[in-house]
């Protein structure tokens, strides 16, 4: 922190904080430290520790492969079904845990909100960073599996960060909405798990989007995770998987809309968080 010019802070009712974005930058280390706290606390006093980050996706992958691949015999565009599932599951799990954690983050950190000032935006954002750590572990696992099945990632893998960013944006946007609403209406504690469970089956996690009839595909892309999951499969498993440009653009536009409106709602309500929470 610079100790040069003493800053002047003006507090007034309804005043939009002029220093908001500067403050956000000034507190960037807190973002990292909050995320690190949640990561290091996460697997404390568990017997298997970080192994859970590996076991959970693997077990889900086995079940989905069995149900959708073996029993329902859905098409896999030439890729091993387990890889198809895993490439869908990885971004979905990231989105789901990011959204779940960030939606709950303000309430979980209520003791901080009522006792100290910092830009509240850090709280839901850091929750998403935590999910990113689990994602990284899963991604390493995916790479091992791809090696095992003889898949060498091509140039397309360079597009993955873009898709992760899209998932990040979608999770943050929805997370801002839900976390701000959760402060006032605790109903959302019950809504979110339901939405996420529903979303797991609505999103193309256990199957390829190829099974969706052409005429419904654009509508299907209203769910931003459709674009992200398609993008992941395209990036990791190659050209058998087509990217639907219009669907992807729709996903991106919607994500930006959710993120923008989420930010607006969050900033509008954050000043009263401490009074309501």
Partner 1 sequence: MPHAITVTGLSKRYRLHHVGRPRYRSIREDVSFGVEALLKRLLSTHPQRERDSDEEFWALKDVSFTVAPGERLGVIGRNGAGKSTLLKVLSRITEPTDGRIELRGRVSSLLEVGTGFHPELTGRENIFLNGAILGMTTREIRRKFDEIVAFAEIERFLDTPVKRYSSGMYVRLAFSVAAHLEPDILIVDEVLAVGDAQFQRKCLGKMEEVNREGRTVIFVSHNMTTITSLCTRCLLLNQGRIQSIGAPTEVTANYYRSGFSGSGTDFTPTEHTARSRDDVAILRRARLVDSNREPIDYARIDQKLGVEMYYDILQNGCRPIPNIHVFAQGQYAFISSPSEAGPMPKGSYVSVMWIPANFLNEGVYVAGIALSSMNPVRVHFYVPDGIIFNVVDDITDPARHDYTQPIPGIIRPRLEWITAPHQALEHA
Which residues would be at the binding site for partner 1 (CB under 8 A)? 1, 3, 6-14, 27, 29-30, 33-34, 37, 40-41, 44-45, 111-118, 183-187, 271-272, 274-277
CA-nearest of 128, 140, 200 to 164 is 128
Helix (H) or strand (E) holding 125: helix 122-148
Q: Given the complex with partner 1, which of 41 and 249 has the nearer CB atom?
A: 41
CA–CA separation, 25 and 27 (whole Å): 5
Nearest distance, CB of residue 273 and partner 1, angstroms: 8
Q: Given the complex with partner 1, which of 17 and 77 has the nearer CB atom?
A: 17
Nearest distance, CB of residue 29 and partner 1, angstroms: 5
Nearest distance, CB of residue 38 and partner 1, angstroms: 9
CA–CA separation, 151 and 187 (whole Å): 45
Q: Given the complex with partner 1, which of 89 and 106 has the nearer CB atom?
A: 106
Nearest distance, CB of residue 174 and partner 1, angstroms: 18
Nearest distance, CB of residue 32 and partner 1, angstroms: 8
For residue 151, what is the DSSP state?
A: P
CA-nearest of 165, 163, 161 to 128 is 165
Q: Given the complex with partner 1, which of 29 and 214 has the nearer CB atom?
A: 29
Task: Count other C-beta atoms under 10 Å from residue 120's C-beta.
Answer: 25
Q: Given the complex with partner 1, which of 185 and 201 has the nearer CB atom?
A: 185
Instruction: Give 137: exposed, middle or buried? Use CB within 10 Å, 0-12, 13-18, 19+.
Output: middle
Q: Given the complex with partner 1, which of 185 and 198 has the nearer CB atom?
A: 185
CA–CA separation, 151 and 145 (whole Å): 9
Q: Give the CB-side neighbour count of residue 25, counting CA atoms within 13 A.
A: 5
Nearest distance, CB of residue 124 and partner 1, angstroms: 16
CA–CA separation, 156 and 159 (whole Å): 6
């Amino acid at each position: 922190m610079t100790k040069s010019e003493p800053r002047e802070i003006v507090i007034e009712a309804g005043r939009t904080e002029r220093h908001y974005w500067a403050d956000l930058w000034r507190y960037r280390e807190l973002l990292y430290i909050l995320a690190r706290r949640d990561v290091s606390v996460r697997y404390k006093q568990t017997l298997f520790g970080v192994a859970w980050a590996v076991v959970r996706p693997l077990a889900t992958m086995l079940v989905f492969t069995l149900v959708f691949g073996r029993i329902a015999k859905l098409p896999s565009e030439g890729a091993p079904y387990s890889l198809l599932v895993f490439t869908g599951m990885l971004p979905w799990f990231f989105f789901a845990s990011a959204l779940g954690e960030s939606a709950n983050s303000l309430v979980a950190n209520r003791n901080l909100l009522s006792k100290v000032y910092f830009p509240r935006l850090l709280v839901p954002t850091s929750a998403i960073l935590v999910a990113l750590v689990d994602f990284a572990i899963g991604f390493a696992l995916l790479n091992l599996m791809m090696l095992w099945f003889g898949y060498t990632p091509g140039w397309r893998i360079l597009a993955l960060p873009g898709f992760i960013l899209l998932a990040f944006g979608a999770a943050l946007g929805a997370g801002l909405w839900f976390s701000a609403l959760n402060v006032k209406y605790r109903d959302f504690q019950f809504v979110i798990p339901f939405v996420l469970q529903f979303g797991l089956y609505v999103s193309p996690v256990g199957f390829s989007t190829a099974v969706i009839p052409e005429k419904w595909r654009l509508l299907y892309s209203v769910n931003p995770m459709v674009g992200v999951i398609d993008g992941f499969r395209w990036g990791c498993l190659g050209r058998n998987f087509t990217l639907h440009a219009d669907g992807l653009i729709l996903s991106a536009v919607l994500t930006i809309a959710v993120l923008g409106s989420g930010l607006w709602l969050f900033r509008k309500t954050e000043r009263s968080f401490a009074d309501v929470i």
